[in-house]
Every structure is written in C-alpha cells, then in structure tokens.
C-alpha cells in the first residue's frame, strides 16, 4: 500500500474551562471531568486512522513523509496549518496573537494569523474583532485595570456560514452561541489580555506589544468560483466550501503541489488513491491529501458539504 495515499485523522479533544461536557450533536463525546472546548483536527497529537501508517501521530507521519506529504508547504518541516473546532459555552478570554516577527523575537518559529468559519450561530451571537476606532493604548491599559475592556471592543454579529478573518495583532474574543471551524498558522501562542476575573495568567505587556489598533480583521464575503465558494484566500490559507450531490466530488481534489485537507460539514465521502484501500470520511471528520498522492478519487456517498483547506505561505 502506498504511504503517500490520503488518510483520515482522529480528532483530539482538548479541555477548556469555557467548554462543554457533552459535544452532541457534533460528536458522540461526553465527559464528567473537565469540559471540552476544542477539538483539534490537525494537532500534533492527532493520530492517523487509516492506511499503513495508522496509529502514528501527525508529527510522526509528517517527519516520515516530509516533502511527499507537504510539498511546497514544507517550510520548516512542520504541518503548516492547525485546524480546530471550537465549542464555547462561556466567553473566551480577550486575547491577541503575535505576528511572525514578534513571535520570532521571543523564540517562536511563527506567529498566529487565523480565520473562523461559523458552522453554527444562535440568534444574537457575536464576536469581538478589534478595538473601537480612536481608542489609545493607554486607554486599553487602563480599561484592563478597571475591568472595562469589553466596552472598547468592536463587536461583530455572526450568522451560520460567516467567515471571519483574524490577522495577527487583532484584539479578539469569542463568546457563546457559536460553533467555529478555526484554521490558523501552526502555533498555540496566545497572549491573554483580559479574562473577566478568572484566576488565569494574563500577559498584559506582551498583549500591548503585539496588538495593532488597526487591522484587517472582519467578515470576508464569499465568492463563487468553478462550482465552489471561496470563503477566504489570504496569506497563509485558502478555504473553499463545496456542496456536492451524491456520486460526485472528484473536482474536490486537484494536484496543486501542496498538502490539502478536506473537512466534512455534512454528508460523507469515500476517498481512494493508487495502491491504497478506500476509506470514508464522515461528518466532522477530516482527511489529509498528501502533495504527492497519485490517482486520488473522491466520491460523495451522500449529498455533502465539504470544506477544502490548503496552505498558501508557511
């Protein structure tokens, strides 16, 4: 069997104080312990679920396959994008991520630019993206001290199907009422600016250093293109949504010289390749298509909505 065939990854469930104990109907997952707030789909600890490398972590298979897996997205040799599902039951902290230059100043390989695709949104749901126009850094620092920072945040209403861009340096926060598919640079570097009095470490000085009072964050209007919808096409990632009837989907995968990921929002896919056994990808599951995979075919086994994610720069 070909080691460069596509494969499915097992999700990895991360505890977060702002999450849920039961992830139904998205996942058949219940815990009586710490709540689950994030489901990592391409985390370093996610395990290969199909094919000859089943059981290897994403880090291990990336090291093993190298350029054959990542192609032009090889960069430093790490898997280029971290993809997650977020399930906030309570407010996340107000936070900011460094850009590449600042992250490297502090010994990190890269910063963290990300985007959020709303898989679901309840009436009245909103996120904070950026600081209101005219607010100064001194006013932000004072508002952190007197617990009024929320008053300075730019709130953006969210509906199901919205795509939001969150470039590095954007002060942001997410609240309850949404389920988010997040795609980001492979980095977990977060500077926590404000946390509503919860007893967690804050990184105020680094937050102030990292933040930009003006950024490009906000909603990205979708664009129709060749049977798909381009949700976002920015420096680090391009994301498309494909809605395909049963029996079709081959155009989902075209050789681009880079690794590609397919996340099934609804429905199911069967993926096959030269020298490999076919496998299925169901709702809320993710498949990885190596750059050098040969003869890849994708068939929708039911009407399906699929998000295709690929790196641009790394």
pLDDT of residue 288: 98
Ramachandran bin of 2, using left for φ above 0, alpha for ψ from -120 to 50, beta for the remaining angles? beta
Ligand-binding annotation for 172, yes or no, is yes
CA 300 from centre of chain: 23
pLDDT (tens digit, 9 = 90+) per residue, 284-297?
999 999 999 999 99
- Has residue 251 got a pLDDT over 90? no
The H-assigned helical ranges of 233-300 are none
pLDDT in tens, 50-83: 999 999 999 999 999 999 999 999 998 999 999 9
pTM, 2 dp: 0.96
Catalytic, out of 110, 189, 192, 310? 192
So what's the pLDDT on residue 3?
A: 73
Residue 164 to residue 156: CA distance in whole angstroms: 9
Q: What is the pLDDT of residues 217-237, one digit of tens each?
A: 999 999 999 889 999 999 999
Active-site residue, 16 included: no
Tell whether 97 is in a known binding site. Answer: yes
Read off the pLDDT of each residue in 160-178 and give the average, rounded to a whole number: 97
Res. 2: pLDDT tops 80? no
| All structural domains of the chain | 7-219 (2.60.120.10), 223-311 (2.60.120.10)
- CA-to-CA distance for 279 and 50, rounded, in angstroms? 7
Q: Where are the beta strands (DSSP E) in the chain?
A: 7-9, 12-20, 36-40, 81-86, 94-96, 114-121, 126-131, 153-157, 163-166, 172-174, 178-185, 191-194, 218-219, 223-225, 228-233, 237-244, 260-273, 276-281, 286-289, 297-311
> Among 282, 312, 275, 311, which residue's Cα sits nearest to residue 296?
275
Burial class (CB in 10 A: 0-12, 13-18, 19+), 277: exposed
Span 23-28, average pLDDT: 97
- Angle (CA) 187-193-197 rounded to 5° is 125
pLDDT bracket for residue 1 (50, 70, 90) = low
What pLDDT, on a 0 to 100 scale, did the predictor assign at position 176?
A: 96
């Amino acid at each position: 069997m070909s080691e460069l065939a596509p494969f499915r990854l097992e999700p990895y469930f991360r505890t977060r104080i702002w999450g849920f104990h039961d992830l139904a109907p998205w996942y058949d997952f219940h815990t009586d312990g710490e709540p689950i707030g994030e489901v990592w789909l391409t985390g370093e600890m996610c395990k290969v679920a199909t094919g000859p490398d089943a059981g290897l972590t994403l880090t291990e298979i990336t090291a093993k396959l190298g350029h054959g897996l990542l192609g032009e997205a090889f960069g430093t040799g790490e898997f280029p994008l971290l993809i997650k599902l977020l399930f906030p039951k309570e407010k996340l902290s107000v936070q900011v991520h460094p850009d590449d230059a600042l992250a490297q100043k502090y010994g990190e390989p890269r910063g963290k630019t990300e985007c959020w695709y709303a898989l679901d949104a309840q009436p009245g749901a909103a996120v904070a993206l950026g600081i209101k126009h005219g607010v100064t850094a001194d006013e932000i620092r004072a508002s952190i001290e007197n617990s009024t920072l929320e008053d300075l945040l730019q709130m953006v209403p969210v509906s199901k199907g919205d795509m939001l861009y969150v470039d590095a340096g954007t002060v942001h926060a997410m609240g309850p009422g949404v389920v988010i598919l997040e795609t980001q640079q492979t980095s977990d570097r977060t500077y926590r600016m404000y946390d509503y009095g919860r007893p967690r470490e804050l990184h105020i000085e680094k937050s102030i250093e990292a933040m930009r009072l003006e950024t490009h964050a906000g909603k990205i209007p979708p664009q129709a293109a060749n049977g798909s919808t381009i949700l976002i096409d920015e420096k680090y990632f391009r994301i498309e949504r494909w809605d395909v009837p049963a029996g079709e989907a081959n155009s989902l995968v075209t050789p681009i010289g880079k690794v590609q990921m397919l996340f099934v929002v609804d429905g199911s896919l069967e993926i096959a390749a030269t020298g490999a056994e076919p496998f299925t990808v169901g709702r809320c599951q993710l498949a990885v298509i190596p750059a050098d995979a040969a003869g890849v075919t994708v068939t929708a086994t039911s009407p399906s909505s699929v998000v295709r994610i690929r790196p641009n720069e790394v």
